[in-house]
Amino acid sequence: MNQNFVRTAMLPPELPPVSQRGVVKWMRENLFSSVLNGVLTVLAVLVIYLIVSSVAPWLWHSVWNAGSEAECRAIVEAKFGPGATGACWAVIHERWNQFMFGLYPNDLYWRPTLAAVLLLVALAPVLFLSLPRQLLWVTILFPAIAFYLLWGGTVWAPVAAMLGFVVMGFAYRLLLPLVGVTVAGSLGFVAACLWWLFLSGYVSDALASVLPLALRPVDSDTFGGFLLAIVIGVTAISFSLPLGILLALGRQSNMPIVKTLCVGFIEFIRGVPLITLLFSATLLLGYFLPPETNFSTILKVIILVTFFAAAYLAEVIRGGLAALPRGQYEAADALGLDYWRAQRLIIMPQALKISIPGIVSTFIGLFKDTTLVTFVGLFDPLRGVTTFVRADPDWKAIYWEPYIFVGAIFFVICFGMSRYSMYLERKLKTDNH
């Protein structure tokens, strides 16, 4: 009699014990793995609860359409009972144009809007390398178009200014085989300066008298809100990067005089607060320039912010240069490349790649710093416009909403920049681990 028992079918696997699966396991591992962790979790949940419980009803009771703060309050109390508080976003709705354009003439809002759309088109090929390269023409022409749209006046002034760059490129090409990169570059720059100083005015006047293509001129004092922040931010960002690279190269250079000048400039700019520099621009530039010169404040501010960002960028890029192994420089020398070719083909692509996070955070800092122009009398979105709006008796009692709105837009732009830098880093990563 064979009593052997052989199991022929597998038992179905048991589920792990309750404490070892699902939400419970996740919570045990992630939230309550130790006493300290448990305490932290409870504290964090408490903080979240406090924030949400105080902010959520206020947000829930939002009012989007009203003529004044008192009306907002009346609507909230009518809807949610007496004593209820609610966010009054109506102020943003009512004063949207001031937040966006400042005091720019009402009937011309299409111009900054068009410029903003073109800005996106111009930025796209720079940011995303997979887009067709022909779009770069928009990028190259964008400064002139944007200037023409925003400031108005005759179209020939920006065209003549752009021709200066053509002059520079032409002189550089012509001189390059004769005298080398450095001298040809400087002479090209001198030629462009001569063009801008002495010729471009006549050329644009002559062209304007033949074919007057003019938009209504707009005074730069009317610029404000995010229009101002973006004009300053974009201009300063695009000029500060090349300047920063030159300063970094100057600081690494083995020519002692060039090096000393670069170090002095960088350390001076980095050693003083931006506000003092902005004040210097408005108060002191009058002393340092010939008595008859007259700049608009916005231009002074753009120049100063550019210098400021360039000094910080120079330090970031210097870090990238220092991080490159010595062998890269030696390899470039061994290939027989001259200084500029070595920089352009071997050193800079690698150094800039290493410094992307630093460069982008400098840009973010620069964009945030555009709010400081309020202290030299410009109409920035954060303090300038908000103070202006709150000066109206209808909106006097409002404080959180404008700040939250402006802060949210800054957050979106700056957070977008930092995410883009992470994307770029991943995309350019060439190592294999």
Q: What's the token pair of residue 124? A: 């796209």
Least separation in angstroms between CB 301 and other proteins: 15
**398 torsion bin: left (phi>0), alpha (psi -120 to 50), beta (else):** beta
Rule CB under 8 A: choose which of 24, 268, 393, 422 binds other proteins: 268
Q: Does 179 bind other proteins (CB under 8 A)?
A: yes
Cα 172 → chain centroid = 31
d(CA 389, CA 383): 10
Q: Which of 16, 22, 24, 33 binds other proteins (CB under 8 A)?
A: 33
Candidates 143-151, 204-212, 271-279, 421-429: pick the segment binding other proteins (CB under 8 A): 271-279
Does residue 374 touch other proteins according to CB under 8 A? Answer: yes
Does 369 engage in binding with other proteins (CB under 8 A)? yes
Measured between its terminal Cα atoms, the distance across the chain in Å is 65
Of 62-70, 197-205, 250-258, 421-429, which segment contacts other proteins by CB under 8 A? Answer: 250-258
Report d(CA 47, CA 37) in Å as an integer.
15
The C-alpha atoms of residue 179 and residue 184 are separated, in whole angstroms, by 6
Residue ranges with strand state E in 115-206 = 153-154
The structure tokens listed for 245 are: 């690279």
**Residue reference for tokens 């404008």:** 402
Alpha helices in 253-289 (DSSP H): 256-271, 274-283, 285-288
Angle, helix 181-194 to helix 156-179, in steps of 10 degrees: 150
How far is the C-alpha of 131 from the C-alpha of 240, rounded, in Å?
A: 25
Q: Give the span between the Cα atoms of 208 and 2, in whole angstroms.
A: 114
Q: How far apart are CA 304 and CA 298, in angstroms?
A: 10
Q: Does 272 bind other proteins (CB under 8 A)?
A: yes
Q: Out of 12, 290, 325, 327, which residue is the one contacting other proteins (CB under 8 A)?
A: 290
344 scored as a contact of other proteins (CB under 8 A): no
Stretch that binds other proteins, among 5-13, 74-82, 160-168, 262-270 (CB under 8 A): 262-270
Of the pair 127, 183, the CB lying nearest other proteins is at 183
Residue 326 and residue 35: Cα distance in Å, rounded?
Answer: 50
**Strand partners for 153:** 215
Q: Which stretch binds other proteins (CB under 8 A): 67-75, 98-106, 144-152, 378-386?
A: 378-386
Give how far Cα 74 sits from Cα of 60, 228, 269, 404, Å.
16, 35, 52, 22
3 part of the interface to other proteins, by CB under 8 A? no
Give yes or no for residue 279 binding other proteins (CB under 8 A). yes
Q: How far apart are CA 350 and CA 325, in angstroms?
A: 10
The reply on whether position 276 binds other proteins by CB under 8 A is yes
Establish if 242 lies at the interface with other proteins (CB under 8 A).
no
CA dist 333 and 316 (Å) reads 24
Q: Which of 289, 322, 345, 428 binds other proteins (CB under 8 A)?
A: 289
Using CB under 8 A, which residues numbered 399 to 418 contact other proteins?
Answer: 399-400, 403, 406-407, 410-411, 414-415, 418
Query: Binding mask 64-103 vs other proteins (x if CB under 8 A, - otherwise)?
Result: ----------------------------------------
User: With respect to other proteins, which residue has the nearer C-beta, 132 or 271?
Assistant: 271
Work out whether 60 is an interface residue with other proteins (CB under 8 A). Answer: no
Q: Which stretch binds other proteins (CB under 8 A): 29-37, 52-60, 79-87, 238-246?
A: 29-37
Alpha helices (runs of H) in 391-432, residue ranges in sequence order: 400-428
Residues contacting other proteins: total by CB under 8 A? 62
Task: Identify which of residues 38 and 67 has a Cβ nearer to other proteins in the complex.
Answer: 38
Q: Does position 255 bind other proteins by CB under 8 A?
A: yes
Q: Which residue has tokens 């408005």? A: 282
In whole angstroms, what is the distance from residue 231 CA to residue 289 CA? 25
Options 18, 24, 44, 126; binder of other proteins; rule CB under 8 A? 44
Ramachandran sector of residue 22 (left: φ over 0; alpha: ψ -120 to 50; beta: rest): left
Rule CB under 8 A: say whether 275 interacts with other proteins.
yes
DSSP-derived letter for residue 335 is T
Helix (H, G, I), strand (E, B) or coil at 187: helix
CB 411 → other proteins: shortest distance, Å? Answer: 5
Residues found near other proteins in the complex (CB under 8 A) = 29-31, 33, 37, 40-41, 44-45, 47-48, 179-180, 182-183, 254-258, 261, 267-268, 270-276, 279-280, 283-284, 286-291, 333, 339, 364, 368-369, 371-372, 374-375, 382-383, 386, 399-400, 403, 406-407, 410-411, 414-415, 418
